Amino acid sequence: MNILHMRYAVEVAKEGSINKASGNLLVAQPNLSRSIRDLETELGIRIFKRSPRGMKLTPEGENFIYRAKKVLREIEEIETSFKSSPLGKQSFSISVPRASYISCAFRNFTGRIGSSTADIFYKETNFYEAVESLVSQNYNLAIVRYARDSRETFEQVLEEKGLSHRTVSSFNYSLLMSKDSPLAGKKEIRLKDLDDLILVAHGDPYTPAPTADIYRNYHNLDSMKRRIFLFERGSQLDLLNGNPETFMWASPVPEETLQSHHLIQRDCQDSKKAYQDELVWRIGYEFSPMDEMFLDELEKVKKTVL
């Protein structure tokens, strides 16, 4: 059973109205109604009797809401118990896209932890796994990436999952390559200039499914004769550094990272598609001091690369 849907049902029961509950939860009315219907189907009962005067609980619904409130109270007690642990252990968890500017911010953030007792979780993954980490894996934050022309799909996914968001950065992808690349000296780079080089690409998608094919076609992925697909980021910079024939499409990279790996980042005149990174969290979640510390470092690094 989806705990989020349980919370939705309790809120609707409290307000007696989908409209009022939708406003309180910051969830679109159609999505809230669909979540309630899905919950009723899963349980095999009718929780609410719908009428022009609002949402009234059925006898079965009254029993369900009573028990749901007890479950939610127990969840809150567990969360409070661990947050107020006598050990004073702090926790930070975030899922992110593969981006050098974010990893640099994370590195700087870890340098500010000092001697504090803390558990830190940092996972690089794709769009849907990042969302799932918030919904069912108890991660507190995520940064997700999407093509700006797919914003409607992006917002629909987050609404359905009960998640809030705000923009971290907007950018166009550019070409990341060795300083010794045959393209390094060109004043202007076009897509056709990439034909004889080796594309390095991530092996899993990170944008919502409806835009994956658009991304592949736009960035000329399928026309490349030689391609290397990586499912981790650890070796990509070494690969670009060690083989001047390779290149990859990348979000903005900090200058210190470029210098340390003997790389350059160049625009492609044919690539104008805009992307966006968004910070995402569960509705109602309050940022911890460690969350704020990381976001402060992220803002500092962002200013240097964007």
Domain closes at, from 46, 65, 83: 83
Domain closes at, from 23, 52, 83: 83
Closest CA to 131 of 208, 201, 42: 208
d(CA 55, CA 53): 7
144 and 280 together in one domain: yes
207 and 279 together in one domain: yes
Phi, psi of 147 (to 5 degrees): -70, 135
CB 194 within 8 A of CB 224: yes
128 and 264 together in one domain: yes
179 and 33 together in one domain: no
Domain closes at, from 16, 50, 83: 83
285 and 146 together in one domain: yes
Domain that holds residue 20: 3-83
CB 97 within 8 A of CB 35: no
132 and 255 together in one domain: yes
Over residues 265-284, the pLDDT tens digits come to 999 998 888 899 999 999 88
75 and 129 together in one domain: no
32 and 159 together in one domain: no
pTM recorded for the entire structure: 0.67
- At residue 208, the pLDDT reads 42
53 and 144 together in one domain: no
108 and 140 together in one domain: yes
The answer, yes or no, to whether residue 172 has pLDDT greater than 80, is yes
Average of pLDDT values for 26-42? 89
12 and 126 together in one domain: no
CATH number, position 30:
1.10.10.10
The answer, yes or no, to whether residue 292 has pLDDT greater than 80, is yes
249 and 122 together in one domain: yes
| pLDDT band (50, 70, 90) for residue 213 | very low
- At residue 11, the pLDDT reads 92
**How many domains in the chain?**
2
- At residue 128, the pLDDT reads 86
Over residues 77-93, the pLDDT tens digits come to 776 655 555 445 678 99
d(CA 192, CA 155): 35
